[in-house]
């Protein structure tokens, strides 16, 4: 099954892709359908409301403009009406004063009129009443050619052009002719600043405004009066130009234009009928379209919400479709990839479920036909596996035989494999001993150690038990049930609960080598293949045993040869050392002899001189000398004598040293005799000390002597013992000096102690130093020849080895060492009083 896993996994990613593609298709389609509907609806809605809104705006603004125009016309008409009263009367009917009074009243009633003049029918000014200047009566000014008179007479009413008084305030001349021919004309100067009240009251949205422009494009009224007072020219605005050209926009369209502040505005205008003025109503575009924007925003929100809903609905529907298809697809894919136990779960109650059921049927049939095939394959596989196992085991055994010479390991491997492959619980290999003609257990498998130990003690002879039998017959023997034939094996085996045995004799050219046994707890015949298998293992065992025997004999030979080579080397080394020492001894003896002669002179003449000083003193006794001189001579003589005695004393000491050197260098072991032990130790100490000082300048060590006066004499070879002691003492000096060097200034005093002690029949000598001590690994080997810890060239390594030989072999004594690394080393020598004699006797014997 696992073999199908890889293609299965490889299928996964494209399948997922497919799933999402279908899923997305469903969702996308759904969302698209809903959205298209909504977007179209929204756009239509927005378009509709835009058109309606725009139309409404146009209407409103036009209405506002018209209303404003009407108001302004009314304002002017009002003035006209008021002025009209003054033209009702005939000039002859009233006094000029009366007229003036009427005019003043008119001025009070109409604040916009700054000046009113009345002209008679002939065009002569009769009266001028002003708010600013002094009133003028009957000036008779001829206005008959002025347009304000002629036009008024012709048309009954005349609206003069707008002019800016003192270049600041907009004014207009308004003339009215009376209805009767001789009523004359009233001319009013109207301050148009007062239209401001009208214009500033027109509310156009929040930030919109209305303004009035005259026929020449001059600003007459504006909510910002500053603009009017500055006499602003409006003709640079596109909308004003358009209005003046008369190409005025049609009723239904409002052009967007730029106002004085540079804002984009919706502009509408209406003419002020009789005056030739135009009222403009303007609303910033942003403000105008604000409700429209809000509407669009709302539409967008609705669209967004609908989009979300559509997406959710789409996902829901797509899931309902895609999930069962998906289940079908996954199930089919699994079945296709071999998982026949797979059943597809679709509970939709429709065609998809029927499809799933058919898939399941198909899978069931496939599974049935598969099962038979699988069983067969399994059986064959098992057989193959068994053969492979056997071959592998055999290979391992061969490997073991070839790779190791340890017989136990090889045989253990063989018996273990044999038992395992023959389906038995235990096994053993016995090796036949040709000398005793017995089988001995060499390797076991599957037995507890108690049983093994017991079997090991039992010796099986030829012909005894089934093993002996098999060996004799040189044939494998099997015992299917031990209970039928208990004598054929050891009781231990039966007690251990084994019921069946198979024995294969191990033979080499018909010669019995041993036997391979396997034991089984279940009774029954062993198969032929098992017997053959065991025979194969048996043959391997024979090989292994023979190999081991060969190896063993080779090993033994080699060891013997190595031993004799070692012995030869030791002997040779000793010979070389002895030769060296002999020649050194000869040299020393020669030198010592040469020194001895001059030393004799020194000694002899100094003792003679000492006597001569005594004689000199005697000779001087008789001479009369003053006491002072005598005292002085006595003193000198005493000093001389003292000096000479010292010369004698030290000469004797030198003599002793030379003697010792001679003694030491004398060839051979010399004569053995009874010697004072203390003297020997003392001499050795002196010799070593002086030797060391001679060798190394500044050498210093504290010597502690503790001699037992009862040590007495011992029969020994003095030169040999001296060599031993010198060797030990020099070693002690070396160790102490080394430790001092290592101590490096720390308070340390190198000390060497020598002690003797009588032990009755024997004497003990101890040489102890407080040096570096001897580490355990060195202590083990230090009596071996050639072993040394000193740097190359400083020692031969023969010292302790020879010392050991001298003490133990020559004198029958013992030498022991006691040491603690970094603290001390003590050698203890025990010599029997009759040592040399005993040893010599032994040797001669």
Partner 1 sequence: MAYERRQCDRMRRRDFIAALAGSAAGWPFVVRAQQTRPAKLGVLLVDKREPFSRVFWEGLREFGYIDGQDMQVEYRSAEGKLDRLPALAAELVNLKVDIIVASETPAVQAAKRATTEIPIVMAPSGDPVGTGLISSLSRPGGNVTGLSAATSELAGKSLELIREILPGARRVAALADPTNAFTRSFLAQIHASAKAAGLEIQDVMLDGTQDFEPIFAGMASGGVDALVVQPTLPRAPIIALARKHRLATVSGNRAFADAGGLMSYAGSLADRYRNAAPYVDKILKGARPVDLPVQQPTKFELVINLKTAKALGIAVPHAMLTRADEVIE
By CB under 8 A, residue 225 contacts partner 1 = yes
Of residues 225 and 405, the one with the C-beta less far from partner 1: 225
Q: Which residue in this structure is represented by tokens 């001092």?
A: 740
Token pair of 631 as six digits:
């005292």
| Phi, psi at 832, each rounded to 5° | -70, 150
Angstrom distances, CA of residue 77 to CA of 81, 87, 196, 198, 288? 6, 15, 16, 14, 33
Of residues 105 and 828, the one with the C-beta less far from partner 1: 105
Of residues 63 and 433, the one with the C-beta less far from partner 1: 63
By CB under 8 A, residue 4 contacts partner 1 = no
Of residues 235 and 403, the one with the C-beta less far from partner 1: 235
Of residues 301 and 377, the one with the C-beta less far from partner 1: 301
> Which residue of 2, 226, 487, 697 would you call a contact of partner 1, by CB under 8 A?
226
Minimum CB separation from partner 1 for residue 213, in Å? 17
Site track 109-138 with partner 1 (rule: CB under 8 A), x = hit: --xx-x----------------xxxxxx--
Minimum CB separation from partner 1 for residue 114, in Å? 8
Give residues 26-65 in contact with partner 1 (rule: CB under 8 A): 49, 52, 56, 59-60
Q: Report the Cα–Cα distance between both ends of the chain, in Å, rounded.
A: 91
Site track 315-354 with partner 1 (rule: CB under 8 A), x = hit: ----------------------------------------
Of residues 104 and 647, the one with the C-beta less far from partner 1: 104
Of residues 100 and 334, the one with the C-beta less far from partner 1: 100
192-198 own/partner pairs: CB under 8 Å, 24+ apart: 192/112, 192/162, 192/220, 192/221, 193/169, 193/225, 193/228, 194/75, 194/111, 194/112, 195/72, 195/75, 195/220, 195/221, 196/221, 196/222, 196/223, 196/225, 196/228, 198/68, 198/71, 198/72, 198/75
Alpha helices, DSSP H only, in 230-289?
238-245, 285-288
Stretch that binds partner 1, among 160-168, 588-596, 614-622, 723-731 (CB under 8 A): 160-168
By CB under 8 A, residue 528 contacts partner 1 = no
Stretch that binds partner 1, among 226-234, 263-271, 597-605, 724-732 (CB under 8 A): 226-234
By CB under 8 A, residue 67 contacts partner 1 = no
Give residues 163-192 in contact with partner 1 (rule: CB under 8 A): 166-169, 191
Of residues 24 and 133, the one with the C-beta less far from partner 1: 133
Strands 751-758 and 702-706, how do they pair? parallel
> Which residue of 19, 77, 105, 458 would you call a contact of partner 1, by CB under 8 A?
105
By CB under 8 A, residue 194 contacts partner 1 = yes
Of residues 206 and 747, the one with the C-beta less far from partner 1: 206
Contact 189, 131 (CB under 8 A): no
Of residues 201 and 650, the one with the C-beta less far from partner 1: 201
Fill in the DSSP letter of residue 690: H
Give the number of other Cβ atoms within 10 Å of residue 51's Cβ. 10
Give the number of other Cβ atoms within 10 Å of residue 596's Cβ. 16
Site track 680-719 with partner 1 (rule: CB under 8 A), x = hit: ----------------------------------------
> Which residue of 70, 150, 231, 796 would you call a contact of partner 1, by CB under 8 A?
231
User: In the chain, what are the helix, strand and coil shares in percent, each to the nearest 5?
Assistant: 60, 20, 25
Of residues 291 and 775, the one with the C-beta less far from partner 1: 291
Minimum CB separation from partner 1 for residue 53, in Å? 8
Of residues 67 and 663, the one with the C-beta less far from partner 1: 67
Minimum CB separation from partner 1 for residue 185, in Å? 24
Q: Which residue in this structure is represented by tokens 């009215």?
A: 176
SS3 per-residue string spanning 699-724? CCCEEEEECCHHHCEEEECHHHHHHH
Contact 171, 191 (CB under 8 A): yes
Binding footprint of partner 1, residue count (CB under 8 A): 36
Q: Which residue in this structure is represented by tokens 């895609």?
A: 322
Give the number of other Cβ atoms within 10 Å of residue 682's Cβ. 15
Token pair of 774 as six digits:
């001897």
Minimum CB separation from partner 1 for residue 84, in Å? 21
Give residues 258-317 in contact with partner 1 (rule: CB under 8 A): 291, 295, 298, 301-302, 305
**Among 631, 679, 639, residue whose Cα is nearest residue 656:** 679
CA 171 from centroid of its chain's CA atoms = 94
Give residues 401-460 in contact with partner 1 (rule: CB under 8 A): none
Q: Which residues pair with 270 in a beta bridge?
A: 279
Minimum CB separation from partner 1 for residue 132, in Å? 4
Of residues 190 and 644, the one with the C-beta less far from partner 1: 190
By CB under 8 A, residue 108 contacts partner 1 = yes
Minimum CB separation from partner 1 for residue 184, in Å? 22
Contact 195, 102 (CB under 8 A): no
Of residues 201 and 646, the one with the C-beta less far from partner 1: 201
- Residue 414 sits at the vertex; the CA angle it makes with 409 and 419, to the nearest 5 degrees, is 130
> Which residue of 230, 705, 809, 820 would you call a contact of partner 1, by CB under 8 A?
230
Q: Which region, left, alpha or beta, applies to residue 167 given φ > 0 means left and ψ of -120 to 50 means alpha?
A: left
DSSP assignment of 182-226 equals GG-EEEEEEEGGGHHHHHHT--BTTTBEEEEE-TTSBEEE-SSHH
Q: Can you give the binding site for partner 1, defined by CB under 8 A?
A: 49, 52, 56, 59-60, 101, 104-105, 108, 111-112, 114, 131-136, 166-169, 191, 193-194, 225-226, 229-231, 291, 295, 298, 301-302, 305
């Amino acid at each position: 099954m696992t073999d199908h896993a890889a293609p299965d996994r490889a299928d996964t990613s494209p399948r997922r892709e497919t799933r999402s593609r279908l899923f997305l298709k469903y969702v996308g389609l759904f969302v698209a359908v809903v959205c298209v509907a909504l977007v179209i609806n929204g756009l239509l809605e927005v378009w509709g409301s835009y058109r309606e809104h725009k139309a409404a705006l146009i209407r409103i603004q036009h209405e506002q403009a018209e209303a404003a125009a009407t108001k302004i016309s009314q304002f002017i008409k009002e003035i006209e009406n008021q002025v009209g009263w003054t033209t009702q009367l005939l000039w002859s009917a009233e006094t000029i004063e009366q007229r003036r009074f009427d005019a003043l009243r008119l001025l009070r009633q109409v604040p916009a009129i700054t000046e009113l003049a009345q002209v008679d029918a002939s065009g002569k000014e009769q009266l001028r009443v002003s708010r600013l200047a002094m009133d003028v009566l009957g000036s008779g000014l001829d206005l008959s050619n002025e347009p304000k008179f002629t036009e008024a007479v012709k048309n009954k009413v005349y609206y003069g052009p707008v002019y800016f008084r003192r270049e600041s305030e907009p004014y207009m001349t308004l003339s009215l002719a009376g209805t009767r021919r001789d009523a004359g004309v009233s001319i009013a100067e109207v301050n148009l600043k007062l239209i401001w009240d009208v214009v500033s009251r027109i509310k156009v949205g929040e930030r919109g405004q209305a303004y009035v422009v005259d026929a020449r494009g001059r600003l007459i009224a504006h909510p910002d009066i500053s603009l009017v007072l500055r006499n602003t020219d409006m003709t640079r605005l596109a909308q004003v130009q358009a209005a003046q050209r008369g190409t005025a926009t049609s009723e239904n369209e409002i052009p967007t234009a730029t106002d004085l502040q540079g804002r984009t505005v919706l502009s509408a205008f209406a003419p002020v009928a009789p005056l030739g003025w135009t009222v403009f109503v303007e609303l910033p575009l942003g403000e105008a379209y604000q409700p429209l924007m809000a509407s669009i925003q709302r539409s967008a929100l609705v669209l967004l919400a609908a989009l979300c809903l559509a997406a959710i609905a789409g996902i829901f529907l797509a899931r309902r479709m895609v999930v069962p298809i998906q289940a079908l697809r996954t199930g089919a894919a699994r079945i296709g990839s071999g998982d026949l136990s797979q059943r597809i779960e679709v509970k939709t109650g429709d065609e998809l479920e029927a499809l799933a059921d058919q898939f399941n049927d198909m899978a069931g049939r496939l599974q049935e036909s598969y099962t038979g095939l699988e069983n067969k394959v399994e059986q064959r596989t098992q057989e193959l596996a068994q053969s492979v196992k056997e071959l592998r085991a055999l290979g391992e055994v061969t490997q073991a035989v070839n790779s190791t010479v340890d017989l136990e390991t090889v045989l253990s491997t063989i018996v273990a494999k044999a038992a395992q492959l023959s389906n038995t619980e235990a096994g053993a290999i016995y090796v036949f001993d040709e000398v005793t003609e017995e089988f001995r257990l060499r390797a076991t498998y599957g037995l507890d150690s108690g049983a093994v130990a017991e079997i090991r003690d039992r010796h099986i002879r030829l012909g005894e038990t089934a093993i002996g039998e098999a060996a004799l017959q040189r044939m494998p023997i099997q015992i299917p049930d031990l209970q039928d034939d208990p004598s054929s094996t050891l009781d231990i085996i039966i007690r251990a609960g084994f019921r069946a045995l198979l024995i294969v004799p191990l033979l080499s050219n018909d010669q019995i080598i041993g036997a391979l046994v396997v034991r089984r707890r279940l009774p029954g015949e062993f198969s032929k293949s098992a017997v053959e298998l065991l025979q194969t293992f048996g043959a391997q065992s024979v090989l292994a045993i023979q190999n081991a025997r060969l190896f063993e004999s080779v090993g033994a030979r080699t060891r013997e040869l190595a031993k004799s080579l070692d012995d030869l080397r030791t002997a040779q080394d000793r010979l070389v050392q002895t030769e060296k020492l002999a020649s050194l001894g000869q040299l020393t003896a020669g030198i010592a002899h040469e020194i001895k002669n001059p030393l004799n002179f020194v000694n002899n003449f100094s003792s003679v001189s000492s006597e001569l000083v005594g004689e000199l003193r005697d000779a001087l006794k008789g001479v009369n000398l003053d006491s002072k001189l005598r005292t002085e001579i006595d003193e000198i003589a005493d000093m001389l004598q003292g000096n000479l005695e010292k010369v004698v004393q030290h000469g004797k000491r030198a003599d002793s040293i030379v003697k010792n050197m001679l003694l030491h260098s004398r060839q051979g072991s010399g004569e053995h005799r009874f010697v004072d032990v203390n003297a020997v130790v003392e001499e050795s100490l002196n010799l070593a000390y002086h030797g060391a000082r001679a060798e190394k300048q500044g050498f210093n060590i504290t010597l502690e002597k503790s001699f037992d006066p009862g040590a007495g004499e011992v029969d020994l070879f003095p030169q040999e013992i001296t060599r031993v002691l010198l060797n030990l003492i020099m070693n002690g000096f070396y160790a102490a000096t080394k430790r001092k060097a290592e101590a490096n200034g720390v308070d340390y005093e190198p000390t060497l102690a020598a002690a003797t002690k009588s032990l009755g029949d024997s004497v003990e000598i101890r040489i102890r130093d407080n040096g570096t001590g001897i580490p355990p690994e060195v202590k083990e080997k230090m009596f071996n020849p050639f072993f040394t810890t000193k740097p190359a060239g400083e020692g031969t390594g023969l010292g302790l080895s020879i010392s050991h030989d001298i003490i133990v072999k020559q004198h029958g004594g013992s030498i022991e060492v006691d040491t603690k690394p970094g603290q001390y080393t003590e050698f203890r020598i025990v010599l029997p009083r009759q040592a040399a004699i005993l040893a010599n006797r032994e040797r001669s014997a």
